[in-house]
């Protein structure tokens, strides 16, 4: 399993910034664990929302859509985050 050594570093960064070798390592990991791929895809999708120049209303709609998608896809590692986000949605979205 040395081929996955330090893969946690890759999971904390955006795929767009990876070298070809890093991309290959991550793709191999995703073959072994589709759940990690789903979680990483969800993280990247939320980052895109955060970095997009959206109005407050657009941002709220995008975040709610993201929350539904994560929940519907059964990505369980986000359960607590989704709960916190739901509880503090107005504060988080600067409403």
> What's the gap between Cα 47 and its chain centre?
7
Encoded tokens for 7:
């893969």
Residues 7-43 as b/e (b if ≥16 CB within 10 A, e otherwise) read eeebeeeeeeeeeeeeeebbeebeeeeeeeebbbbbb
Q: How far apart are CA 71 and CA 49, in angstroms?
A: 17
% of the chain exceeding 70 in pLDDT? 98
Q: What average pLDDT score do residues 17-38 get?
A: 93
* pLDDT value of position 1: 58
CA atoms within 13 A of residue 12's CA, in its CB half-sphere: 4
* pLDDT value of position 44: 94
Q: How far apart are CA 7 and CA 26, in angstroms?
A: 7
What's this model's pTM, rounded to 2 decimal places? 0.87
Q: How confident is the model at residue 20 (pLDDT cuts 50, 70, 90)?
A: very high
CB under 8 Å to 42, separation ≥6 — which residues? 66, 69, 70, 73, 75, 78
* pLDDT value of position 67: 98
pLDDT at residue 5 greater than cutoff 80: no
Q: How confident is the model at residue 69 (pLDDT cuts 50, 70, 90)?
A: very high
């Amino acid at each position: 399993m040395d081929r996955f050594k330090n893969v946690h570093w890759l999971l904390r960064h955006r795929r767009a910034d990876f070298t070809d070798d890093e991309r290959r390592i991550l793709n191999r990991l995703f073959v072994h664990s589709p759940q990690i791929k789903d979680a990483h895809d969800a993280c990247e999708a939320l980052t895109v929302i955060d970095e997009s120049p959206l109005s407050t209303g657009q941002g709220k709609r995008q975040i709610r859509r993201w929350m539904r998608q994560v929940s519907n896809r059964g990505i369980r590692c986000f359960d607590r985050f989704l709960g916190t986000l739901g509880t503090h949605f107005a504060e988080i979205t600067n409403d």
